Amino acid sequence: MNYGHFNDDSKEYVITNPKTPVKWINYIGGLSFGGFVDQTGGSLICRKDPATNRIVKYIPQLPLSDFNGETMYIRIKEKDGYRIFSPFYTPTLDKYDQYECHVGMGYSTYISEFYGVRSEVTIFVPRDSERVLRDIKITNLREENLEIDLIPVVEYTHFEAMKQFNNADWVPQTMMSDLVVEKGDLKTVLQYAFMRKDTNVNYFTSNHPISSFTTDKNHFLGDNGYGTFKRPKSLEKDELDNYLALRGDNIVALMHHLDTVKPKETRRIITQLGQCEGIENETKEINYYREEANVEKAFLDLKKYWKNLLNKLVVDTPNKEMNSMLNIFNPRQCNTTLNWSRYLSLYQLGLGARGIGFRDSSQDVMGIVGHSKDEAKKLLRMLMSVQKRNGSAMHQFNPVTMIANEGDSREEEDRDDFYGDDHLWIVLAVNAYLKETGDFSFVDEMIPFYEKDKEENPLETASVLEHLKRSLMFTRTHTGKHGLPLLGFADWNDTVNLPKGAESVFIANLYGVALNEMIDLYTFLDDNTLVSKYKKYYQHMKDVVNEVAWDGEWYTRYFDHLGEPIGSKVNSEGKIYANAQSWTVFSGFATEERKNIALDSLNKYLNTSKGIKLSYPGYNGYEEEKGGVTTYPPGAKENGGIFLHSNPWVMIAETKRGNGTYAFQYYNQINPATKNNIIEEFECEPYVYPQNILGDEHPQFGLGRNSWLSGTASWTYQAGIKYILGIMPTYQGLKIDPCIPKEWKKFSVVKEYRNAIYNIEVLNSNCKEKGVVKVIVDGKEIRGNNLPIFDDSKEHNVKVFM
Ligand code: GLC
C-alpha cells in the first residue's frame, strides 16, 4: 500500500492520501527563520532557536486528526447555514474528492477538492526574507455561484517552548495581542509576550480585506472553549468577535469574505506569518509580499536556488530509486541536517535539551560540502569554537548563545564528562571540506577554543590545523588498560555508557581514519615530519587493535572498566556489533584475512532484508551499568535495532574489500524510496532516511522512526557517491574508483568540482565490481584514475573503463 509517489521531474514527492500512519513533514526556511510543515498543512515555526524563540504551537502528541500550529477553514454559504471545512483535511476531516500534498524543495503545495471547491496552497519561506507565505488559490468548480469565506488560523505558543507546557500561571498572563488597521480594511494582527513587546512581535496578515478577527482560542471555539476545532462555534456566525486577547491562549483567525465566486473563477489570497522588532519597521516588506508578482518571484528564486544546488552533482545509474535519492531527496535531507542538526523534528522536539551536536554536525558537513561550501565552512568554524584546549569537544551548543554543554554526561557523576569520539569527527569534516573545495587558506584561519576568562574572552585562539592536531592528541593521550582509546561517557553509540576506564574499539578506528586524513593533508602540505609521526601513531594503534580486539570471527566492540570485552563471543547478549567490523575495515586496521572474516560474520549475524542491525543479540533487561542501550527492548534503536546511520559504514567497508554486490545490496535495502509500497510496515516518509527501523528481534520488524534528522543522510550520500559510484575528491584531484554490482553495464555522473564540470561516463562491459583500467579525459588517456584539477570554468568529458 502506498500514500503517494515520487515525481523526480518536479523534484517532489506527491502525497495523495492525507491519512499517513504518522505525520509526514517537510522543512521550510531554515534555523534563522522557519521550521516544518506537515502533510495536513500544520506548521512549527521558530526564529533562530526553537527552544527560546518559538512562534507557533505544535504538539506532536495530539491525535493526528487535530491540527497543529496553523490551519485554514473554508466556509460556503448554503441555504440551511454554513458548510465549514478545512482544505487541509484536518481538523474537520470532511470527505475529499482529491487530496495532494506536493513535498517540494523548501516548499509544500496542497491541492484539494471538497464540495466543488478546489484549493491550492503553497507554503514557503522566501530565501532572503523571514516570513512564512501561504499563497492560496480557491476555485469554484461548481456550475453555480458560491459565497465563499476563508478563515486562516494560527495558534501561538509562548516563545520559551518548554514554559508553554510547564507553567500555566505565568505564561497565560503574559500573552497579548494587538491590531493594526491599514488602508482598504487590510489588517495585521500582532501577538507577543509582554516582556518582548518591543523586540519579538509576531504578526499575521494577508493581502485581502479582513472583516473581522479573533485572537483567543476559547472565543474561536465558542461555548467557553467547549466548542471544537472540528466545528468552531464562532464560524457559525457571520463575523468573528474582534476580541483582542490580553492574556490566555493566543490564536489568530482572520475572516476573509471572497463574496460571490463565479463558476470556474479563481481567487487568490496571500497570508504572511512573521516576527519583527516593531511593526512600523516591517510595513514595507509586508506590503512587498502582498503583491502576487513579488511572491511569485520569491517562489521562483527558491526553485532556482534548489535547481542550482542539485545540479552540482547529478547521477544516472541503472537503479531508479538510487537516482531519486542521490539526485534529489538525499542532498535535500543533508541540507536539512546541516541546518537543524538534531534540533527540531517530530522526534527531536527542539525544547532545549539538545541544540547543535558536535559529532552530529561534523558528520553532516561531510554530506553537503560539494553542494553548500559556504554554509559548511560557517558551521565548521562554529564547531571548532566549542572545542576545548585539550582537544576534546563540548558535546552540543545553542546556536544563538553559543553556550555549549557536556550533553547527557552531566547527569551521571561517576562517568567521564567527555565523549571519546566527538573531537575526532571534526578532523574528517575539515579534510572533506578541503578536498572538495581546495580552500587551503582555511587551515591557517584562527579560531578560539571554548574556554573563556571572566570577561568572556577566549583563553586561547589557534589555527584550524592546530585544532585538528589537538583532536588527535586528546585521543592519543587518553587510552586505557589495553592501549585503546578511552570511551569517556560514550562514543558514537550514545547509549552504551560504561563506568570510567572503559575502552572503545570504534574510537580506535575513528582515530585511524582521522590519522589517515591528516597523513593525506600533510603529504599534500609537504610536511614529512608530521607525516611520519602520524604514520607511526597509525601503525601503533593498528597493532593494538589487532592484538587485543580480534575475537576469532569478528572484532570486539568495547572493553569495560574491568577490562572485560563487550561485543565478543564470550558475551551472551551483544555478542557482535556492526561498527567494530565496518570501522576496522574503514580504518584499514583489519588485516586482509580478518577483513573478510569480520565482514562475512557481520553479514551472517547482523544483516536482515530491511537493513543491518547494530548488534546481536539484543540485551533483554535493564542494566544500570551499561546504561541507555538496555532501556530498549531487543530490536529497538541501539539495542539490536537497524540503526541506519551505521549501515553506510558497512557499505563503505564492502567497497574497501571490492564487494560491489554487497555494497549495493546494503544500499538498496535501506533506501526509503524502496519502501514506498510497504508504508503499512515502514510508516515513515519514503523520501527521507529515518534514524532507525525495528530489527527482527522485535515483533514490529520493519517499522521506521525518527525520520529526517539523522547522520544516515550524510553517510548514505557519501557511501553512494564517494564509495559505490567512486567519485572521490582528494588532494590530488577527483579520484574515480567505483565499486558496483557486476550487472551494471554503465553509469554516468556530472559533477561540479573545483570550478570545472566533469561529465563522467563509466563503462563496465567486463562485468567487474571494482578496478579501473583506463581513463580518457577530453579524448586523451591519462595515467592513473585521478582526474586533473582544471579550475577553468569549463566542461570536461571523462570516459572511465572498468
Ligand atoms: C543519535 C545521536 C548521535 C548518535 C547516534 C547513535 O543519532 O544524534 O549523536 O551518534 O544516535 O547513538
Tell me: the pLDDT tens digits for 208-217? 999 999 999 9
Q: Can you list the alpha helix ranges (DSSP code H) found in 13-152?
A: none
Per-residue confidence at 410, pLDDT binned at 50, 70, 90? confident
Q: What angle do CA 471, 472, 475 make, to 5 degrees?
A: 95
* Gap from CA of 368 to ligand 1 centroid (Å): 19
Nearest atom within ligand 1 for CA of residue 342: 8
- What's the average model confidence in pLDDT over 57-62? 95
| Cell 537497524 sits on residue | 642
Nearest to 36, CA basis, from 106, 126, 120: 106
CA distance 674 to 682: 10
Predicted local confidence at residue 415, as pLDDT: 83
CA contacts within 13 A on the Cβ side of 338: 26
Enumerate residues 6+ apart whose C-beta is below 8 A from 763: 745, 746, 799, 800, 801, 802
Nearest atom within ligand 1 for CA of residue 493: 12
- Is residue 152 scored above 80 in pLDDT? yes
CA distance 211 to 782: 73
Enumerate residues 6+ apart whose C-beta is below 8 A from 525: 443
- Is residue 171 scored above 90 in pLDDT? yes
Per-residue confidence at 352, pLDDT binned at 50, 70, 90? confident
- Measured in degrees and rounded to the nearest 5, phi and psi for residue 473 equal -65, -40
pTM summary value? 0.97
Per-residue confidence at 147, pLDDT binned at 50, 70, 90? very high
Cell of 82: 454554513
| Cell 582509546 sits on residue | 485
CA distance 399 to 356: 7
Amino acid identity at 325: M
* Gap from CA of 55 to ligand 1 centroid (Å): 28
Q: Which DSSP string corresponds to 185-227?
A: G-EEEEEEEGGGTTT-EEEEEESS---EEEEEHHHHH-GGGTS
Q: Which H helix or E strand runs over 395?
A: none
Q: Where are the beta strands (DSSP E) in 348-418?
A: 356-357, 396-397, 404-405
CA contacts within 13 A on the Cβ side of 134: 29
- Average pLDDT, rounded, for the chain: 97
CA distance 653 to 642: 17
Q: Which H helix or E strand runs over 562?
A: none
* Gap from CA of 487 to ligand 1 centroid (Å): 15
Residue-wise pLDDT for 372-408, tens only, equals: 999 999 999 999 999 999 999 999 999 999 999 999 8
Enumerate residues 6+ apart whose C-beta is below 8 A from 594: 546, 550, 555, 584
Nearest atom within ligand 1 for CA of residue 643: 6
Cell of 71: 490551519
Amino acid identity at 370: G
Nearest to 449, CA basis, from 380, 379, 391, 363: 391
Other CB atoms within 10 A of residue 549 CB: 26
Cell of 629: 542501550
- Is residue 413 scored above 80 in pLDDT? no
Nearest to 146, CA basis, from 247, 77, 205, 195: 77
- Measured in degrees and rounded to the nearest 5, phi and psi for residue 32 equal -65, -35
Nearest atom within ligand 1 for CA of residue 360: 9
- Is residue 353 scored above 90 in pLDDT? no
CA distance 580 to 574: 12
Nearest to 411, CA basis, from 482, 325, 353: 353
Sign of the torsion formed by the C-alpha atoms of 665, 666, 672 and 675: positive
* Gap from CA of 494 to ligand 1 centroid (Å): 6
- Whole-angstrom CA distances from 25 to 674, 691, 739 are 19, 15, 34
- Cis previous bond, 634, omega within 30: no
Enumerate residues 6+ apart whose C-beta is below 8 A from 92: 73, 84, 85, 86, 230, 231
- What's the average model confidence in pLDDT over 633-662? 98
- Whole-angstrom CA distances from 405 to 342, 381, 612 are 15, 17, 32
Task: Count, in order, helices (H) and strands (E) of the chain.
Answer: 19, 42
Ligand 1 proximal residues by C-beta, below 6 Å: 342, 357, 359-360, 492-495, 638, 645, 691, 710-711
CA distance 66 to 43: 12
* Gap from CA of 248 to ligand 1 centroid (Å): 38
Taking a C-beta distance cutoff of 8 angstroms, is the pair 125, 29 a contact? Answer: yes
Pairing of strands 757-763, 746-752: antiparallel
Burial label, 169 (beta-carbon count in 10 A; 0-12, 13-18, 19+): exposed
Q: What are the residues facing 419 on neighbouring strands?
A: 488
Predicted local confidence at residue 326, as pLDDT: 98
CA distance 670 to 720: 12
Residue-wise pLDDT for 254-307, tens only, equals: 999 999 999 999 999 999 999 999 999 999 999 999 999 999 999 999 999 999
Residue-wise pLDDT for 692-750, tens only, equals: 999 999 999 999 999 999 999 999 999 999 999 999 999 999 999 999 999 999 999 99
* Gap from CA of 493 to ligand 1 centroid (Å): 6
Taking a C-beta distance cutoff of 8 angstroms, is the pair 458, 452 a contact? Answer: yes
- Is residue 417 scored above 90 in pLDDT? no
Sheet holding 746-752, edge to edge: 313-316, 746-752, 757-763, 795-801, 774-777, 780-782
397, 494, 504, 506, best to mutate for ligand 1 pocket (most atoms within 8 Å of CB): 494
Length of the chain, please?
802
Residue-wise pLDDT for 74-87, tens only, equals: 999 999 999 999 99
Q: Which H helix or E strand runs over 664?
A: helix 660-670
What is the maximum alpha-carbon separation in the chain?
89
- What's the average model confidence in pLDDT over 790-800? 98
Three-class SS of 294-363: HHHHHHHHHHHHHHHHHCCEEEECCCHHHHHHHHHHHHHHHHHHHHHCCCECCCCECCCCCCEEHHHHHH
CA distance 652 to 658: 10
Cell of 495: 547509549
Sheet holding 690-693, edge to edge: 642-643, 690-693, 704-707
- Is residue 558 scored above 80 in pLDDT? yes
CA distance 26 to 37: 5
Predicted local confidence at residue 416, as pLDDT: 87
Sheet holding 733-736, edge to edge: 727-730, 733-736, 786-787
Predicted local confidence at residue 411, as pLDDT: 76
Predicted local confidence at residue 556, as pLDDT: 98
Nearest atom within ligand 1 for CA of residue 711: 7
Taking a C-beta distance cutoff of 8 angstroms, is the pair 729, 767 a contact? Answer: no
Per-residue confidence at 412, pLDDT binned at 50, 70, 90? confident
CA distance 486 to 492: 13
Amino acid identity at 738: P
Amino acid identity at 336: T
Catalytic residue among 38, 149, 364, 494: 494
Q: Which H helix or E strand runs over 256?
A: strand 250-261
User: Does residue 494 carry a catalytic annotation?
Assistant: yes
- What's the average model confidence in pLDDT over 144-172? 97
Enumerate residues 6+ apart whose C-beta is below 8 A from 298: 124, 126, 127, 129, 133, 289
Q: What are the residues facing 146 on neighbouring strands?
A: 261
